[in-house]
Amino acid sequence: MTAPHPSTTPVRMHTASADWHRMHPLSLVIDIAERARSIIGTMVSLLVMTSWLRMPRHAIRLAVAATLLGMAVIRIVAWSRKRYRLDDDGITMEAGILNTVRTTIAYDRIHTINITTPFVLRPFGLVSVAVESGGISNGSSIALTAVPQSVGTQLERLRRQAVAVESAHEDRHDVEYDEHETVRRTVVHEDAGRLAFRASVRDTVLFALTDLEFLAALLVLYGFAQNLEDLLPRKVFYSAQESIIRFSSSSTLSMIITIATGLLMILAISIVKSLMLYYRFEVWRRGDDLIIVRGFFTRRSFTIPVGHVQTVTIHQSVLRRALHLSSVQVGLTTSGADDDELAAMSAGGILPVVADDRLYATLGVILPEWNLHAPLTTRTAHGLGRYLLTMPITLTVIGTLGMATAVMATVASAPWLPWLLPLPAAVGAYACARRWLKLRAEGYALLGGDRIVVTGARGLGFVTMFTTRARIQNVRRRIYPWRLAAGVESMTMPVFVTNGYSELRFTAIRTVDAQYLHDWAMHVTTPDDGKATTLNEAVRIGTLHD
């Protein structure tokens, strides 16, 4: 009897926990608390409506008690019906009340493993584990709340074993050569893991001080002030408000002190929030996985398989660019988490803030397979300023003149309207600044190994995105009638990622460059030598040399 070929013999991994398991009862307590918190607003609205309808108090209490009891019973039944197991091929979870939904994710199809250790679970040695496969449908994830710590460790080990078995049947070469340059693919052997990056407290504080999103803290302060109005007696609240207004308007120094105090409060909120999220931020390289760990009260561990990284994006706000600081995120085919609290982690942020002088050296340790280095790009928007700035400048002038005309015509009936006079100019200045950054930053470079880097601007920030030709989904080109004669168009190349920036974008690019990139992305080659030496490429090279 002939023995089967090794490449066709299925390899099964035997696990030590193939039985069904329920989650710890603490998961039920957490679930009930979260459900109760989510319906508080609805119950308050119902109470207000019942007070208008003059319903008896005992009927209101009975309705509230029945709602809470019904919700608790439903969650208890759901918890008793929810179970999981780690079998030979993947992780399986069953859930459902009236029907049973069974979800299975094979170990080699796991894209991310998110391990969270909330403060309330630490004394019990429990964690929460979220497993994500590729895709954005509801069935692409499994969430386990309050399970032993060994579950997360075992999942990471089984995923690495499955990937190793899968890759053993593929012909892989550690070194790949390209006609333009030699790209060395470094194979990282599985070990206990090595520390690739650790953010200091100084790095975290710099991240908070240079994060333009700290302006969102204004909304936090505003909401806090509104809550004080509801909690404090009305007379006390308005008396304090009048005292603050009287002090700030008494002199120029008082106004400066008030503004400075507000800014310091905003910065303090931003720093505290960043320390809570990024305290002891670490990036570990373990085999072919990136392990990201961070958090103060709640330590979170996020596993990213390097093979699932679709893009590497370096982002700089205007402030961080002036201070020579950058942030780095990786694009994944799965979001990694749905909770708003996990927004930073689900965005694939692997470096919150790092100095530019050690950016690429750090990336070389974290992602040696990508061979990242500072690119020398071709600026595609160079000399196309009139196509980028004419429209926003024209609209700004028209909007400002229109607002000035409206103010002069209605100043008697609407004395508040002059306060809106600077609005069109401010909006126009913002639009022009965005277009000017695109003019200065947009460009690209083709690297070895079918790789491409595209530079540009998003909002008031600079972006450098690395990806490969295989990740590009399609090419979309748009040309306006007034740009046709000049041979100028816009171009986007979408990349299949569900987090961060999902396309390579050129707001203004010459048609010859667009055609060259189109042919490269779509593998358009000549029949004789197959080296992408199309007529458009020849024209482009001649244009650049000229």
pTM: 0.68
Burial class (CB in 10 A: 0-12, 13-18, 19+), 270: buried
* Per-residue pLDDT tens digits for 486-520: 899 999 998 888 777 889 999 999 999 999 998 89
Which of 114-118, 187-191, 276-280, 334-338 has the least mean pLDDT? 187-191
279 touches 296 (CB < 8 A): yes
Alpha helical stretches, state H, 19-87? 25-38, 40-52, 57-81
Which of 81-90, 250-259, 397-406 has the least mean pLDDT? 250-259
Which of 142-156, 223-237, 242-256, 392-406 has the least mean pLDDT? 223-237
Spell out a b/e string for 186-196, using b for 16 or more CB atoms within 10 Å of the CB, else e: eeeeeeeeeeb
Flag whether pLDDT at 45 surpasses 90. no
Flag whether pLDDT at 118 surpasses 70. yes
* Higher local confidence (pLDDT), 161 or 38: 161
* Selection from 498, 109, 470 nearest residue 333 by Cα: 498
Strand-pair partners of 315: 327, 463
**Paired tokens of 291:** 């392990």
Cα–Cα distance for residue pair 496/331, rounded to 1 Å: 9
* Per-residue pLDDT tens digits for 305-356: 888 889 999 999 888 898 899 999 998 876 554 444 444 444 578 888 899 9
Q: What is the mean pLDDT of the chain?
A: 77
- Mean pLDDT on 515-532: 66
183 touches 449 (CB < 8 A): yes
210 touches 323 (CB < 8 A): yes
Flag whether pLDDT at 362 surpasses 70. yes
Query: Domain ranges in the chain?
Result: 21-166, 201-278, 304-381+439-538, 384-438
* Percent of the chain surpassing pLDDT 70: 73
Cα–Cα distance for residue pair 363/361, rounded to 1 Å: 5
Flag whether pLDDT at 402 surpasses 50. yes
Coil, helix or strand at residue 421: coil
* Per-residue pLDDT tens digits for 425-453: 889 999 999 999 999 999 999 987 789 99
Identify the residue whose tokens are 């093979």: 307
204 touches 349 (CB < 8 A): no
* Per-residue pLDDT tens digits for 210-242: 876 655 556 555 666 656 655 566 666 667 667
Report which residue type is found at 343: A
Strand-pair partners of 195: 284
Phi then psi for residue 131, to 5 deg, are -110, 125
- Mean pLDDT on 4-31: 65
- Mean pLDDT on 130-158: 79
Task: Give the distance, in angstroms, between the CA of residue 324 and the centroid of all CA atoms in the same chain.
Answer: 22
